[in-house]
Structure formats: C-alpha cells, structure tokens
Amino acid sequence: MSAESYPVVVLGAGLTGLSAAYHLGAPSLVIEREGEVGGLARTHTEEGFTFDCTGHLLHLREARVVALVDALLPRAFARHERRALVFSKGVFTPYPFQANLHGLPLEVVKECVAGFVEAEIRRAAEGEPDLGTIGFREWAERIFGEGIARHFLLPYNAKLWRADLDDIECGWVSWSIPRPTLREILDGAFGATVRGLGYNPTFLYPRRGGISVLPEALALRGPEVRLSETVVAVDATARAVHLAGGRVVRYEKLVSTIPLDRLLQIARGLSSDLPRIGERLRAVRVLNLSLGIDREGVSGAHWIYFPEKEYSFYRVGFPSNLSEGLVPRGCSSLYVERSLLRDEPFDPEEVTSRAVEDLRRAGILRRGDRLVYRRLSILDPAYVIYDRFRAQNLPAAHRALNEAGIFSAGRFGSWEYSSMEGAIKAGMELARRLSGSLEGRGAVLRAGTMSGPTGRF
C-alpha cells in the first residue's frame, strides 16, 4: 500500500491545529486521536447537562481573532461580566483576592495591607525584581508583600502547580495575575468592590450550547480532518507520520499540536537528546468532576477559587450560570477542579465524596440537595510546569524540530500556559510562516494571517 502524501500534515484537531489548517487552506490534512474535534475546547452533553472540559470562557483581545470569530459565528456569543469569588477564612470575597480584602478577618486585612505597603517601599528603593532570575515565591512576596502571598498567592499556586514554588519560573505571571495599585488595595480593604482587574473582567460564551461551537465552526470550513487516528511515531528522516493502525502519511511540513513531551519521545531521526528532554518536561493533570444538582441557583457566581488546603479542589465553576439550556429545568450544574501529579493515583469514589463534603462545608451544597448527574474526567496534561529545565531546554528542542520541518505549536506543542485565543493565534502565525514555502502548491492563505502582532500570548 503506497503512503498518502500532503504538503502539510497537522497533528491534533484542537484550536491550534484547526486554526493552522483553516488559515493554510487546501493542501493539508489534520489527524486527530479523538472521535471529535476541539481538543480541550470540547463539550460533552449527557442527560440534559452540558459541560465543557472544565470552564472554557473566551477572552478576545486581538482584532484579527475577534474578526475571525465574528465571521465564523456571527452573534453566537454573549458577553458576560465576570462574577468570580474567592473562598477563604470562611468567607466569600470578590476576585481578585488582593484587591478585595474587605470581609476577611481584620488581622488578615491588616497583614495584607501592611505587607503590600512594605513591598512597595522596598521596590521603590531596589527596583522591580528581575522576572528572569527569581522563583514564583519570591516574586509573589516582593510584588504583593508577605500577607497577600501567605493568604492567597502561595497556597493557591501550591495547590495548582503541585511543585516547589521556588522552582517555578515567572514567565506566565505578567498576564495572568492582576497587580492592583496601592489605592486599589486600600479601596478594596475599606469595602469598595474593585472590578475590572486582570485579563478576564468580561468574557464571551455561546448563547446556545458549549464552547465546542468554536472548533466545530473552524473544522466545518477547514480542510479534511481525520478522526480517531492516533499518531504513534514521526519519522523525521522520511518525513512520515505513522498511525496506530499501521498506515503511513508523508508530509513536507509537519505541524504538531500534540503534547511536546510525547512528540519528542515518538520522533525518530533527530538528535538523541530529544527523547530525554521529552521525559523531563513536567506538567500536572487536572481532575474535573462535573455534577448536576436538582436545585436551581446553587450559586450566583461564574467560578470560585479555593486557596486553602482544607478544601480538596482549587476551583469550582457553575456552567448553569453561563447560558440557558445547559441544564434540565429546575437544576444547576457545577464542576470542581483538582490538580494531580501525572503519576499520582486517585480513587474516583473518594474524589467525589470528598468534593461533595467540601462543597457542603463551603455552603454551596445543602443537605437536601440530590446529585442527579456526575462525571469524572482527566485532562492530561493540563498545566505545564514552568521549571528551570523547561526554560533551559525548550529553545533547543524547537530549533531541532524546525530544522527537520516540524513545527510544534499550541498550549502543549509550545509547552506553555496559554488560552483559546492564544491557540487560534498560534495557528494563524504558523500558517503565515509556512505559506511562503508552499507557494504554487495550492496554498490559500486566509485573511487574518496577513498582519498584526506576532508575539506570544
């Protein structure tokens, strides 16, 4: 049997792969392991309950991505003002913690405000810390002071990353952790709710259905996607992809959006260092428990952070507050997220009973509430760990792949902490980068790839 051949083969039909294929146009084939497109942006509907793979809310900042989403799905999204809370010391306060201290015990408020002022004074004398040289713990203490670090940033991030916070680099903090001014900290401490901080004060969500409408719309207008096909090896010398069933697909350029650690382990014909690098890239999994409750309005929030270790999850979200039709009449839905090391064993029954107990302790579930739906799923990987090994080895790994005509992109392809908008942008940028070498091969570069900033998200 002779192998099929394409100018571009794309591994993975998540938003990055779909966006790359859509923007390149005709001469590409997308290969996806699952039976449906979307990757992390998939939606699951069962027994009248619709859940995304944990919360997936769309934050758009770039005009070319806004234009693309409008063109694919006109008027399909509603804009929501974030209703996010933090549960700590037995009280709910508005997110972000650091700018809304009012309501916490007075001692905690004093410690947080005093620590922030001391940190400001120290920075005025010594300057901003160098993000490239310090770990997350030091960054949190030097920017926010010891109180805010001790009561929120350190316990929350320890729960999420499951790693020593001195070893976590700060490449992701500037866009994801809001930095209020002293005035905002004081306003929040004296009772004014400080809104609008951070990257997600508002977000978009489909008026009907879940977030999968977005990848599905891209797939509908893009080139061929082959589902339920798992890539088991990449032969960089022969420029061929081997699939689980034994079939082989040849390529001139390969776009890979599968996790980089896996790609480095299945790629043959490259430097012998790469599989070893792949083995040492670290990430955590996220265990997502989706629950349906037989009561309306279990919470008014979109999501709530839980920094304290007495609670098994780090975040709880409420899809039934996003749009109508995501739950049966008279019901609510929520999901809890718990971070797990990749080799950490867990007992599904324990996870569920502990989550329910914790939701009751926090006052979200009541004694009489009945669980009418539940589903446990694992995202693996979910968050890549920004340790020193990653920073030292990532550039060389990408260089070696690029020289062999392999372009690894997206949240796990680039091994980074990025969003759905980042994935769409990464696909656009790759299409632009590859289209030059495909001239005269039927490549139809779509609008959106032509201009605009190219920086990473």
What are 142's two structure tokens?
Answer: 């030097």
| Site of interaction with ligand FAD (CB under 6 A) | 11-17, 31-34, 39-41, 54-59, 230-231, 257-258, 286, 379, 382, 410-412, 418-423
Q: Can you spell out the DSSP letters for 320-380?
A: GGT-TTSS-TT-EEEEEEEEEETT----HHHHHHHHHHHHHHTTSS-TT--EEEEEEEEEE
CB 288 to ligand FAD: min, Å? 7
CB closer to ligand FAD, 33 vs 102: 33
CB 52 to ligand FAD: min, Å? 8
Question: DSSP H helical segments within 200-305, as ranges?
Answer: 213-221, 260-266, 274-280
CB closer to ligand FAD, 54 vs 290: 54
Alpha-carbon distance 130 to 137, whole Å? 13
Are 267 and 234 in contact by the 8 Å Cβ rule? The answer is: yes
CB closer to ligand FAD, 319 vs 410: 410
CB 431 to ligand FAD: min, Å? 14
CB 104 to ligand FAD: min, Å? 26
Q: What is the CA radius of gyration of the chain?
A: 23
CB closer to ligand FAD, 62 vs 138: 62
CB 331 to ligand FAD: min, Å? 22
Burial of 76 (0-12, 13-18, 19+ CB in 10 A): middle
CB 422 to ligand FAD: min, Å? 6
Alpha-carbon distance 16 to 215, whole Å? 9
CB closer to ligand FAD, 101 vs 420: 420
CB 445 to ligand FAD: min, Å? 20
Are 422 and 411 in contact by the 8 Å Cβ rule? The answer is: yes
Q: Max alpha carbon distance in the chain (Å)? A: 74
Q: b or e along 13-24 (b: 16 or more beta carbons within 10 Å of the residue's beta carbon)?
A: bbbbbbbbbbbb
How many residues are given for the chain?
457
CB closer to ligand FAD, 23 vs 151: 23
CB closer to ligand FAD, 134 vs 233: 233
